[in-house]
Amino acid sequence: MSNPSILILPGDGIGPEVMAQVRRIIDWYGTKRGLVFDVSEDLVGGAAYDAHGTPLTDATMAKAQEVDAVLLGAVGGPKYDVLDFSVKPERGLLRLRKEMDLFANLRPAQCFDALADFSSLKRDVVAGLDIMIVRELTSGIYFGEPRGIIEEGNERVGINTQRYTESEIDRVARSAFELAMRRDKKLCSMEKANVMESGVLWREVVTEVGKDYPEVALSHMYADAGAMQLTRWPKQFDVIVTDNLFGDMLSDLAAMLTGSLGMLPSASLGLPMANGRPKALYEPVHGSAPDIAGQGKANPIACILSFAMALRYSFDAGEEADRLEASIETVLAEGKRTPDLLGEEGVEPVTTEGMGDAILAALDASL
């Protein structure tokens, strides 16, 4: 049986730096845990444009379709702002999502106890927080037709259309229910069924899918009320499923409950391949941060946690994902901090590589 395969796309800015630490973690699992991956690497975003005149080549796209998981660092930067929209670095990421049909975006919001004071909310509200937002990623108002800016009378009108089919709602709902089955068997679906027909359909389809998962406690909430509840008492939730627009907003809101974008991973999942594994792209939530690129200031934890998600959702290695997450928690509890997490007394500043060293030492200690 062949080893599971990973395509690494470091991208731009701090992407290569944080991804270098992920490569060290991957190598550790091969050496110390016998979990060996076939790893290849290629270009995406501005790096691909610089080399090939396109943010994602057809050859790289083909590789992404063949591997078991894609790990991406970050794309973009000010130097590419002058490019035509069709070749901007972000178009490479959007092409990956579209052609791999990655319809379920998983955005965890997990607050490590050592970082609870970094949140803008009180410690008791966020300490121990561990929720997951499942955002539909390939439909909704960002893709619906008609759209555009038209002339109507003597003024311009901007048009975007919220559109969902039953099958699109069904498949992301099933992804969320499956995830809830692996967690605390609690799912909250958020929409605006009180004012939007698409919300009415969303609620009806999610409710129908829920009949196939009788062990999961399903609740419904209007998305605006959900935003309020996320800031009031976020620990009431476990898994949240919502559409593309509301998911974009709610996941960014939930992200800031944890205190730092440098701590937040994500996964985008599609339909199962022939081997039963879902097509999958894993990436940190943060951007390319070109202002600190090459200075050893970048926090690699979000990218490393994205690999932990790959262990859990692509490689059925949940115990090893737990090991990696626990090692990160140990390092943070020891007071080691990259610059984005400084501000407390008694902490130890470390570089990007220094954080990688500390996490590898904690992994060694876990054996």
Average pLDDT score over residue span 282-310:
95
For the beta carbon of residue 215, count every other beta carbon within 10 angstroms. Answer: 8
Annotation says 224 is catalytic: yes
- What does 220-261 look like in DSSP terms, one character per residue? EEEHHHHHHHHHH-GGG-SEEEE-HHHHHHHHHHHHHHTS-G
Would you place residue 360 in the very low, low, confident or very high pLDDT band (cuts 50, 70, 90)? Answer: very high
Domain boundaries, the chain: 1-107+261-367, 140-257
Distances (CA, A) of 162 to 147, 159, 189, 260: 10, 10, 17, 31
How far is it, in rounded angstroms, from Cα 225 to Cα 192? 10
Would you place residue 118 in the very low, low, confident or very high pLDDT band (cuts 50, 70, 90)? Answer: confident
| CATH superfamily assigned to domain 1-107+261-367 | Isopropylmalate Dehydrogenase (3.40.718.10)
The per-residue pLDDT for 19 is: 98
Annotation says 101 is catalytic: no
Q: Does residue 1 have a pLDDT over 80? A: no
Average pLDDT score over residue span 36-40:
98
Annotation says 63 is catalytic: no
Q: Which of 48-57, 71-80, 94-103, 248-257 has the lowest mean pLDDT?
A: 248-257
Would you place residue 2 in the very low, low, confident or very high pLDDT band (cuts 50, 70, 90)? Answer: confident
Catalytic residue among 252, 297, 322, 357: 252
How far is it, in rounded angstroms, from Cα 296 to Cα 310? 25
Which option is the CATH number for 140-257: 3.40.50.2300, 3.40.50.2020, 3.90.1150.10, 3.30.70.20?
3.40.50.2300
Alpha-carbon dihedral 255, 259, 265, 269, rounded to 10 degrees: -10
Cβ atoms 283, 306 nearer than 8 A: yes
The per-residue pLDDT for 235 is: 95
Q: Does residue 301 have a pLDDT over 90? A: yes
Q: What is the pTM of this model?
A: 0.92
Strand intervals (E) in the chain: 5-11, 38-41, 69-74, 104-110, 130-136, 144-152, 155-161, 186-191, 217-222, 239-242, 265-272, 278-284, 336-337, 348-349
DSSP at 57: -
Task: Indicate the average pLDDT of the chain.
Answer: 95
pLDDT in tens, 226-270: 999 999 999 999 999 999 999 999 998 888 888 776 788 999 999
Q: Choose between 85 and 103: higher pLDDT.
A: 103
Judging by beta carbons within 10 Å of its beta carbon (0-12, 13-18, 19+), is residue 356 exposed, middle or buried? Answer: buried
Report the share of the chain in percent with pLDDT over 70: 99
Catalytic residue among 101, 130, 184, 224: 224
Annotation says 213 is catalytic: no
Q: Does residue 117 have a pLDDT over 90? A: no
The per-residue pLDDT for 116 is: 86
pLDDT in tens, 146-194: 999 999 999 999 999 999 999 999 999 999 999 999 999 999 999 999 9
Q: Does residue 278 have a pLDDT over 80? A: yes
Q: Does residue 114 have a pLDDT over 90? A: no
Helix/strand number for the chain, H first, E second? 12, 14
The per-residue pLDDT for 255 is: 82
Q: Does residue 312 have a pLDDT over 80? A: yes
Residues in the chain: 367
Average pLDDT score over residue span 116-132:
89
The per-residue pLDDT for 276 is: 86
How far is it, in rounded angstroms, from Cα 35 to Cα 317? 9
pLDDT in tens, 4-30: 999 999 999 999 999 999 999 999 999
Q: Collapsing DSSP states into helix, strand and coil, what is residue 268? A: strand
The per-residue pLDDT for 340 is: 87
Annotation says 211 is catalytic: no
Catalytic residue among 192, 238, 336, 340: 192
